[in-house]
Amino acid sequence: MSTSFLRPCLRRMFSDRGGNFGIMTAILAPVLLGAAGMAIQVGDMLLSKQQLQEAADSAALATATALGNGTIQTSQAEAFARNFVAGQMANYLQSSTDIKGTTSVNVQTSTSGNSASYQVTVTPSYDFTVNPLMQAVGFSTQHLSTSSTTVSGPSQTPGSNSQGSVSMFLALDKSGSMGDPTETVNKDHPTEPFTYDCNPHLNKKGKWVYDTCTGSRTNYYTKIEALKMAAGNLFGQLTSADPNAQYVRTGAVSYDIVQYTPSTLAWGTAGVSSYVNALQAGGGTNSSGAMGTAYSSLTAKNAAGNDAEDAAHKLKTGQIPKKYIVFMTDGDNNNDSSGGRSYDTLTRATCDTAKSKGIEIYTIAFMAPPGGQALLQYCASDAAHYFQAEQMEDLLAAFKAIGAKASAQLTRLTN
């Protein structure tokens, strides 16, 4: 074949741009998939790292406090801390993940006379399984690790200033929408039976009738069940930090369109825990009365005209307590002539007054609409005190974060 024939053919072939897009797509597809996988993965990893940090904080606090109070011995501290981390992370890890085996614990004891202080460092880690997009470009796992150190001394005598006092009051939404399911499958009862109409047929009178059939479907935690679990985690953290109920007083009030009889402020968390566990969803939404009760409970006067909470703590510990309100809703105030806006106004006014008195307000919008989110953002002490929980796992993490921050008031925490 002559070169005079080949040259024009080769020239046309190399100058032809047909199919360039397909070639470029084939070359870039793995890169694009990897980038998409990385973007999704970063968010998941940040959330997982936050959950791991909160578990480490809680475990270090609980272990140091238990050592200081003599609840456990130093020989038991490592197992205690590892079990605590495993319990905190149980809702976030696959059952095959051995978080206990990958959690290191270091305890240092310092003695002065007849007293001892304890520095506990908890360092949990695990291999985080990446998503399929990341796996497609060669990644399989990412190693997550964090650490938390708590310094705690022995149980303090009244009048001591080395451990802080806390008074916390919860205002919790129990409206009808709190009975709605979340997207999290119930771990203990993953399925549930249900009945439905089936087999339509004519009866003797010529009318269509149905048989009743029974089936099985996925069973999800309801929002009220998620709230009980989340609040239980918070109470557990406070109890671990104050096992003898000497420094923590808690109370709660629930509401739908009206507020209900509250669990009054009392030492420890037993009373408030029973109160929350008995909540049943139902009714509309009006947060104004409940927030008023939370504020008035924390600032009530005693017979002598003094702040009752301050007096109770001073009598027992010689301290003035740090006061907290935890305000949670999944809805938007409703059912008044202004579509709930007058209830918003009253709630905002209470939040303003509480914050002016030095009360810290934590707020959690649990799968709430924009109106509810806006109200809770306003009421929170600042952006760090506001949590927007779009799924059950977010709600659990929010209450754990609040528990860790309140527990830090009871025991000195350093990361």
User: Are residues 63 and 88 located together in one domain of the fold?
Assistant: yes
pLDDT band at 155 (very low <50, low <70, confident <90, very high): very low
Give me the sheet containing 322-329, strands edge to edge. Answer: 263-267, 248-255, 166-173, 322-329, 360-366, 386-389
Whether the predicted pLDDT of 412 surpasses 50: no
DSSP H or E run through 299: helix 288-299
Query: Which residue type, as a one-letter code, is found at position 80?
Result: F
The closest of 329, 312, 336, 310 to 321, measured between CA atoms, is 310
User: Are residues 167 and 151 located together in one domain of the fold?
Assistant: no
DSSP H or E run through 88: helix 74-89
In tens, the pLDDT along 128-151 reads 776 666 565 566 677 888 888 887
**pLDDT the model gives residue 157:** 40
Query: Which residue type, as a one-letter code, is found at position 25?
Result: T
The CA-CA-CA angle for residues 269, 266, 348, to 5°, reads 90
User: Are residues 91 and 235 located together in one domain of the fold?
Assistant: no
26 vs 127, more confident? 127
User: Are residues 169 and 139 located together in one domain of the fold?
Assistant: no
Distance, CA of 411 to chain centre: 21
Based on the structure, what is the number of domains in the chain? Answer: 2
- Give the SS3 label for residue 297: helix
Whether 6 is covered by a domain: the verdict is: no
Q: Which of 26-40, 47-61, 198-212 has the lowest mean pLDDT?
A: 26-40
**pLDDT the model gives residue 24:** 62
Integer angstrom CA distances of residue 143 from 48, 267, 370? 11, 41, 37
User: Are residues 350 and 398 located together in one domain of the fold?
Assistant: yes
User: Are residues 77 and 167 located together in one domain of the fold?
Assistant: no
**pLDDT the model gives residue 344:** 95
In tens, the pLDDT along 59-115 reads 888 888 888 777 788 888 899 999 988 888 887 877 778 888 899 999 988 775 555
- Cα(180)–Cα(149) distance, rounded to whole angstroms? 40
Token pair belonging to 72 = 């456990």
The closest of 354, 350, 363 to 323, measured between CA atoms, is 354
Q: Which of 36-40, 118-122, 403-407 has the lowest mean pLDDT?
A: 36-40
Whether 353 is covered by a domain: the verdict is: yes
Q: Tell me, what CATH number does 382's domain have?
A: 3.40.50.410
Whether 258 is covered by a domain: the verdict is: yes
Whether 399 is covered by a domain: the verdict is: yes
In tens, the pLDDT along 254-284 reads 999 999 999 999 999 999 999 999 999 999 9
Q: Is the pTM of this model over 0.75?
A: no
In tens, the pLDDT along 374-403 reads 999 999 999 999 999 999 999 999 999 999
Whether 11 is covered by a domain: the verdict is: no
The domain in which residue 80 lies consists of 18-155
Q: Which of 86-95, 119-128, 220-229 has the lowest mean pLDDT?
A: 86-95
User: Are residues 384 and 256 located together in one domain of the fold?
Assistant: yes
User: Are residues 97 and 171 located together in one domain of the fold?
Assistant: no
- Cα(107)–Cα(63) distance, rounded to whole angstroms? 9
Q: Average of pLDDT values for 308-334?
A: 93
Whether 396 is covered by a domain: the verdict is: yes
User: Are residues 143 and 167 located together in one domain of the fold?
Assistant: no
**pLDDT the model gives residue 142:** 73
- Cα(4)–Cα(16) distance, rounded to whole angstroms? 19
Query: Which residue type, as a one-letter code, is found at position 244?
Result: N
Rg of the Cα atoms in the chain: 28
User: Are residues 374 and 400 located together in one domain of the fold?
Assistant: yes
